[in-house]
A and B are shown apart, each in its own frame.
Chain A
Amino acid sequence: MHIPDGYLSPQTSGVLLAAMAPIWIRASRKVKKTLQARNVPLMALGAAFTFTIMMFNVPLPGGTTGHAVGGTLVAIALGPWAATIAVTIALVVQAIFFGDGGILAIGANCFNMAFVLPFVGYYVYKAIASRTNPRHKWLAAGIGSYVGINVAALIAAIEFGIQPALFHTAQGVPLYSPYPLSVTIPAMTIPHLLVAGVVEAVVTAGVVIYLQRSGEPFFNQERKQIDTAKPVNAAAQS
């Protein structure tokens, strides 16, 4: 899902970068309100986790590869805005150091994987978790993360797929990504629905079970803080 440079027109990349700007600002403000200094390492851990999980390529039907992102998991643990920041850091390092995802396309990749993915995943998780037994949190997490990564893959497919219709030479030869929506949507969504989404769900549900069993204090506390977006002072936590 890491769109390289050259596949999207500069216009498309520009629009998505412009869309990300207010999201990054909002995320910084939200995190500033809710992030306790002692929890900075957890956000760093979340960013490092998404960076690393994305290195585990799995074979996908159709001869391509894909990977989990872990964005929904970070959103469940630290809140969706913190997840936006954590995944953005991972994507920026992947693009600059490893050429994984383009530099011009950084706004597009962040929109898909650092915004759409964790937010869709988190709110689907929340909708299910709030209606079910807390013991089934893992199931809500798995379903949320599955929906999150698949919606993100669909959005990436749309970004790829609108290129040939919008940007072509006078003769109609595509200038950037050459495949139309009728090709990009099945090519991106089917492998994610069948494999990559399942991997994402299993990883997310597995880590949520672990965090719940280990009684990770941040896991249950932090969410309240983030959810209500109310600064919690030190006295209230003793």
Chain B
Amino acid sequence: MCSGKAKGRLKLWLGLAVMIVLTPLGLLASGTAWGEWGSDEIKSLVGFIPKGLQRFSDLWKAPLPDYSFKGWEEAPFLHSAFAYIASAVIGVAVVLGMAYLLGRLLAKREESNG
């Protein structure tokens, strides 16, 4: 194992950490993504809430809706930024855990020829 390679990989992980800290930049863009409106927004757009949409839209209650804490929808920017970074940390931790687990299940061992 050469150390240069390990160093290179460490830099990639550091890059991810920097990205996480910078995520609140993504909050500066206001507005909803096209086609991702809540029920209220779609009502104001088309004048009614389509029946099927209403039926399925609240099927799942996410623990951290919109990468924020419940009740923090109107919180000042610094609060939202904190919640956003916290969401990124939690999300990345879960993603890494799932990917490692799946990777472990799938990947072949270095020595084995199977």
Contact = CB atoms under 8 A, between A and B. Distances in A.
A35 B65 contact: no
A48 B96 contact: yes
B7 to A, nearest CB: 9
B20 to A, nearest CB: 6
Nearest to A159: B35
A217 B5 contact: yes
B110 to A, nearest CB: 6
Nearest to A187: B34
B78 interface: no
Interface string B83-95: 0100110111011
A35 B106 contact: yes
Contacts of B29: 57-59, 65
Interface of B is mostly: helix
Contact of A86 (B16, B67, B99): B99
A176 B103 contact: no
A97 B94 contact: yes
Contact of A52 (B30, B33, B42, B92): B92
Contact of B113 (A6, A187, A233): A233
Given A56-B23, A57-B29, A65-B33, A37 B108 contact: yes
A2 interface: yes
A174 interface: yes
Contact of A51 (B11, B61, B95, B109): B95
Interface residues of B, number: 66
Given A3-B35, A9-B52, A37-B108, A99 B62 contact: yes
A31 B92 CA distance: 21
B54 A56 contact: no
Given A5-B57, A94-B91, A217-B5, A65 B31 contact: yes
A7 interface: yes
A202 to B, nearest CB: 15
Interface in A1-44: 1-7, 9-10, 28, 31-32, 35-44
A154 to B, nearest CB: 13
A89 B51 contact: no
Interface in A46-94: 46-49, 51-53, 55-60, 62-67, 85-86, 89-90, 92-94
B3 interface: no
B111 interface: yes
A238 interface: no
Contacts of B52: 6, 9, 167, 175-176
B19 A53 contact: yes
B67 A100 contact: yes
A57 B34 CA distance: 12
Given A36-B110, A90-B95, A93-B98, A45 B27 contact: no
Interface of B: 5, 8-9, 11-13, 16, 19-20, 22-23, 25-36, 42, 46, 48, 50-67, 84, 87-88, 90-92, 94-96, 98-100, 102-104, 106-111, 113
23 contacts: A10-B56, A28-B106, A31-B106, A36-B110, A40-B104, A44-B99, A44-B103, A46-B99, A47-B99, A52-B23, A53-B19, A58-B29, A65-B31, A66-B34, A67-B26, A86-B99, A90-B95, A94-B91, A97-B94, A102-B56, A176-B52, A184-B35, A217-B8
